[in-house]
Structure 1
Amino acid sequence: MNKPSSVSADNASSKVTRKVSVAIIGAGTAGQNAFRQASKMFDDVVIINEGFWTTTCIAVGCMPSKLLIAAADRAHDANHSTEFGIHTTTQIDGKQVMQRVRDERSHFASYIKKQVDSWPDDKKIAGHAHINEQGLIEVNDELIEASQIIVATGSSPFIPEGWADKLGDTLLTSNTVFELADLPKSLAVIGAGSIGLELAQAFKRLGVDVTLFNREKRVAGLKDDDINNKAIDCLSSQLTMHLGSKINEVGHNTIENEGTAAFIDYEDSAGELQQWQGEYVLVATGRRNNIKQLGIEHLGVELDDKNRPKDLSKKTGQIGDLNVYIVGDANAHIPLLHVASDEGYSAGSMVCKNNEDAYIRPPAIPFSIVFCSPQIVNVGKSLPEIQQDPDLKYVVGSVSFDNQGRSRVMGVNCGLLHIYGCKKTDRVLGASMVGPDAEYIGHILATAITNDLSVKDLLNTPFYHPTILEGLRTALQDVQHKMEIPYQFHDTQENNF
């Protein structure tokens, strides 16, 4: 295997300040796991990090967003209980809402900080790493030669060119929105992916005047048209969405006696010119990996036109036969925490001398959850992926949650589940869903795919009554009905009443 550093020992000896077996660049979820694994074998491991020494999830991602959603759900339930005969009014303290988000985030971060503080100081370097033409790592006043390099530099919010200057202080991203001292009065959210949907709905439920824009007539990246249309139907009842809109210009103006206001000039889905004006614009147009300025090409790594590394092992993050591993959000493979965790663990095991016996976690199946209400889940292969395989015979099992027993009892009866089943193997190929308890149904289906369980195996497990999970059974039964040799299941009440 090739070493990342191409400089000879003689030429480098007068410059190199430290030689290490493993250098890890980035101390997020993937980097921390890689560091822990590599440290089990090597004493001369170094981890280099710029910025906070926690994780994207804790600092600006999963945890603060879920804290905001938790507050929003409490407010929504309090304000929308008249159908149960419960009449109440709420008062939302925006400052307290945002302060709790930050306080609880600090609580979660304290556990990571405690772990990092336990690492030897001489193995931690705070600073910006750059790989020079000789394949050496430049950081602060050090020049480090590493036999093996693990890149785990994470990702950053993508901001369209010129928008930062045009919007000025009215621009927010998922990296900055949780620093607001109070809830804004009005907010435009650009992008209807997972981040945009979650934050748009949460702020709306907390009393903010929210407008969501998206270029496509899709939400959450859904690829099953029926699920996408149902998601739009469920969400549009409580959220103003301009889907299929085109943004022509953004900016901000100073309004006398009112301060600064942002504006968006756009074409709506009918082609009519419109303008939105409000307090802030939250840009949620995705995240991009942070490796462009790292100098990764000096290690022999090639990137495609979207800065994704070529010749990447999805199991370990290794690049070809190089002693270079790119893991987590940095490789732009599947930017999810559990994937980053597994990749960091596997890369940290691979660099060890006994890597033939290293425990390499298998690649995670595609599995995503959007924590809006109703939730959106995608598991396994998407419908277009299945349809593109001419040899794959499949059926689609379906269930609506609009009249599903427990969902109606709870007043959360809006949703649709599609399960894609293979006729030949009786296995679940994938699923897409919008609806209540989708996160749990998604986990069950992900477990089934991971452990190669058949649809028959799933139907042979108990489904307690009355639960929302009974809807999963109905969809699985529909899969079996459409198979060439249907499975004879026990009589059940299809409506789960």
Structure 2
Amino acid sequence: MPEFDLIVLGGGTGNVVASAAAGEGLDVAVVERDKLGGTCLNRGCNPSKRLIHHADVVQTVREAEAFDVDATLNDVAFADIVRAVNETVTAEAEEKAEQAREHDRMTFYQTEGRFVDEHVVEVDTGDGPERLTSDRIVLAGGSRPLVPEGIDGTDDVEFLTSDEALRLEDRPDRLVVVGGGYIAVELAHFFGQMGTDVTIVGHGDLLVHREDRDAAERLTAAYRERHDLHLGHSATELAEEGEEVVVTAETEDGDEISVRGDEVLVATGRQPNSDLWSVDAAGIETDERGFVETDDYLETSVDGVWAIGDVAGNYMFKHSGDKEGEYVVENAVRGEREPVEYPGMAHAIFGSPQLASLGKPESEIDDGTAYEVGTREYDDTPLGSAMQADGFAKVLVGADSEVLGVHVVGPDAATLIHEVSTAVAAGADAERIAETIHVHPALSEVVQGAFRDACDVAPTGI
């Protein structure tokens, strides 16, 4: 039974830990059933945002006339775009794999793996199963698309998840998207700008309904102008009729609708891969949804086993997973006891418009908590007006100028949120952000304006 100083299960965020450990002289085993780079590189952030950038360019051309620019969109080479994006990410994954294989302190098992005991992992090899052991194991096993059990027909009807949608080279004329979260919103934007008629069926009354309601309402209104929305409906069945797929959905009151498409994308969330790694065989505790439970140091219920990234479920973002990886390097590799913190944690949805958030939505602020709300419309700033941008920033400021929440909807929201993220991580309060000198007429004045409104800081000039 090969024994290692450290075993890392999962080749996505786990790379942060494996690379650091190998660099410090530890003998490391990495087990990954798919390509190195994990979901983000191969089936998530990287390919989706590369594709979405193409959609953003197409949208710019489509809307050029509003800026007195005579531009014509003659064609979109859909298959070429998808193929080029996936060739790029595949090459990156293969390069990572080659580096792992050549590292003299790293053994890369590109195969299925699973726990069979607390500190024993079994891997599949061409010569049969092999068992690996280590006193230290890091589970970075990721997540996969969730397909609700309540939708009949999923065993009989072909449908897309985000995994397949990102590699689809034949553009559908009509696409039905089941789900109203960030994956549904982002891929609806991509396919819609590529020329597909998109219908969205979501169970919430708004798209991305877990976001701040004002922000979700603004995004939903924009999507309603471009797509056919059926919100407040839960999909109950998929069926094939000829070459079409029919999606049946109903409201809580039992009102039923049927919508049709050439393809159906089920984008109803993601689930942790804890079951695929057989964590129960190691006695690792999970919550009711299957996420591995961790303590303040990201250690699981089994001593010497840590969990990071999507499988742990603290946050399901690549940037939070990478931060957790840094803490586990300290705790699992270097033997420290550093409690994990997420200062200034923000996230973004790369739809059209973009939406970015930090902190709490207004609905989650505790009753009795005193706070101020500040807002600023994009078109109330010089650059936002020049861009003819429909969007806004909303900030929630508590006692002692504490930043409780920030929500931005509009162009470059994913970038604008970072000035607040950095400020909060550095210990700045809302008044400091409001009074910080901003470049004029940069788009960041949208965020500053919202903080000025909340903090009652007078704007510069008359």
Report the TM-score, using the length of structure 2 for normalisation. 0.91
Question: 1:422: how far off?
Answer: 1.7
Counterpart among 11, 21, 25 of residue 9 in structure 2: 25
Partner of 1:164: 154
Once the two structures are TM-superposed, the CA of residue 193 in structure 1 deviates from its matched residue by 1.1
Over 3 Å counting, the alpha-carbon distance change for 1:403 and 1:242 in structure 2 is farther
Q: Relative to structure 1, is the Cα distance of residues 205 and 324 closer, same or farther in structure 2, using a 3 angstrom cutoff?
A: same
Contact 1:366 1:381 in 2 (8 A): no
Query: Structure 1's 268 and 309: CA in aligned 2 closer, same or farther, altered over 3 A?
Result: closer
2:298 is aligned with what amino acid? G
1:306 has 2:264 as partner: no
Give the superposition deviation at 1:150. 0.8
Equivalent residue letter for 1:89: T
Check if 1:342 corresponds to 2:337.
Answer: no
1-structure distance, mates of 2:27, 2:402: 47
Q: Letter of the 2:63 partner, please give it.
A: H
- Determine whether 1:151 maps to 2:120: no
Query: Are 1:346 and 1:361, in contact at CA under 8 Å, matched by a contact in 2?
Result: yes
Provide the residue aligned with 2:268 in structure 1: 285
TM-score by length of 1: 0.85
Unaligned runs of 5+ in 2: none
Offset of 1:285 from its aligned partner?
0.7
C-alpha distance in 2, partners of 1:85/1:418?
A: 31
Give the % identical residues: 24
Preserved CA contact (<8 Å) 1:131 1:138: yes
Structure 1 CA distance, aligned partners of 2:415 and 2:461?
22
Q: 2:394 aligns with which of 406, 418, 422?
A: 418
Residue matched to 1:10: none
> Residue by residue, what CA displacement relative to the aligned partner does 1:113-143 show, whole Å, maximum 9, x if unpaired?
4533432386222222222256521112212
Match of 2:18 in 1: 35
Cα distance in structure 2, aligned partners of 1:18 and 1:43 = 14
Alignment counterpart, residue 468 of structure 1, candidates 435, 443, 455:
443
1:6-405 paired onto structure 2 within 5 Å: 17-29=1-13, 31-90=14-73, 91-109=75-93, 111-120=95-104, 123-133=107-117, 135-140=119-124, 141-161=129-149, 163-168=153-158, 171-253=159-241, 255=242, 260-267=243-250, 272-310=255-293, 312-314=294-296, 316-320=297-301, 322-352=303-333, 354-356=334-336, 362-388=341-367, 390=368, 392-405=369-382
Does the 8 Å CA contact 1:24/1:46 hold for their aligned counterparts?
Answer: yes
Aligned mates of 1:457, 1:115 — CA distance in 2: 45
CA distance in 2 between counterparts of 1:120 and 1:185 reads: 50
What does residue range 439-478 of structure 1 map to in structure 2 within 5 Å?
439-478=414-453
The answer on whether the counterparts of 1:214 and 1:244 sit within 8 Å (CA) in structure 2 is yes
Preserved contact between residue 141 and residue 277 of structure 2 (Cα < 8 Å):
no
Are the equivalent residues in 1 in contact too, given 2:213–2:361 (CA < 8 A)? no
Q: Please tell me whether residue 434 in structure 1 is matched to residue 414 in structure 2.
A: no
Q: Secondary structure at 1:418's aligned position in 2?
A: strand
> How many angstroms does 1:187 deviate by?
0.7
Structure 1: runs of 5+ lacking an equivalent: 1-16, 482-486
* 1:364-401 deviation line (CA, Å, top 9, x unaligned): 5441100112111110233233235x4x4211111222
CA distance, structure 2, for counterparts of residue 349 and residue 139 of structure 1: 27
Match for 1:249: what amino acid?
E
SS in structure 1 opposite 2:374? strand
The one-letter code sitting in structure 2 at the alignment partner of 1:137 is V
Whether the 8 Å CA contact 1:242–1:268 is kept in 2: the answer is no
Q: CA deviation at 1:466?
A: 1.9
C-alpha contact (below 8 Å) 1:198/1:372 kept by paired residues: yes
Offset at residue 42 of structure 1 (A): 4.8
